[in-house]
Chain A
């Protein structure tokens, strides 16, 4: 049973890491397209969209890599958790304003349209993975200290 829990927790850590690594990687290739995707949210002043597009993919890449490598798991999970929380707020604001936009979460140039609701549900699922990834470190530290 313990083994099963451990597999689930570490599976969640790796899945979360791979997801954010992929999301960061694909957006880092097309920063201008991603800036437009950010601009679609109509939350930030024009130039700030470019600042976010320039930096966010690399934060995702770094945090995702650390999770996959099982290094600095909790700080990385915290970074991803906070980012994910901000994404959720942005998507709720999009839905509240009735904007019909692509979330720009992965491929910014819009291959495949993901609506705000689909993206919101996916982000809520990722939040569960964040908690599991956080706990994967707890179990290890408990096990090693006992």
Chain B
């Protein structure tokens, strides 16, 4: 057990989305302060959306975050549709599911292969992975490319997609491209199963009792359902605001959140803990061993959960592409121009909430809650727990400091945090 005083500062955590700093202060062997600060510069979306046409706002907010732009586009589109009385067609709903699956495949693959895998091999970057494991990088490129190609087919592009809009999709997938896409998705399945195996075998562990929250959907499609928590709460999408409370984080450009007064976690681990039975039959068959791990309190199982989700997104996409005969459809028009509406979806990193108020077709206010912001308090408490565990070991001061540096980055990375997103909590304006 340590009795030392130590300040550890990490400027610009790497291999996460966006910029964040971390300070840990240890006095007398006890963690007295954990400061996790989001250092992204603000881009003032809360102001930029005001007065803009509601139909144009989803494209505007998709620029909040490059990596999960499809999630912002989709959640905001849903909020606009609910506000303006638009009922989307079954085909639009299928295309939207495919769009979300394409996002999950490439975004989770980026995180696991490029951000996390280097830690598995004790190297700095995916490019430095030892020769005998280089195959993994080739697999990474294939898996990401398959997700990227699926995005291009259904949504036009993987970053700032162009086909998805309020009321429908401007294009439908070209028939001749469907079979090769299914083929490509099939071809990456074994690679993703290998990836599951890697994270199943990985012995990293940090357990701490916490609450998990997710939008639970019937077909694990990330889009429509009820917000549920491991404490048993079941909430309608539109009532979310009564259960989430903002927590101010000093010196940070983002705020944190509590769910019914307690810290909580959102993201893949939460989804698997709450809803693994809704996964695709093929995934349940081939990933049974991995699914048996959940529910889990080990934060590092978020990595395994992401790998299993890639598999599910592949399997569900194959089924949807096989089943539907896509035809050109009219975009559904608004029936009203005033009101308010809520859009809730599961983004790669967790539940994403949009709440819009619209007057005469123009946005009056927008409030949105980002997954990473919801995770900030839980992340901070995990850092505290992990550093406390390290202090209990009998290392000398320098060893301890180095361990803290390495382990904290690794642990924060397990959350797959997105700081570009987290800095864009939109302030609510009640008038």
Q: Do A and B bind each other?
A: no
The interface of chain A, by Cβ under 8 A from chain B, is none
Binding site for A on B (CB under 8 A): none
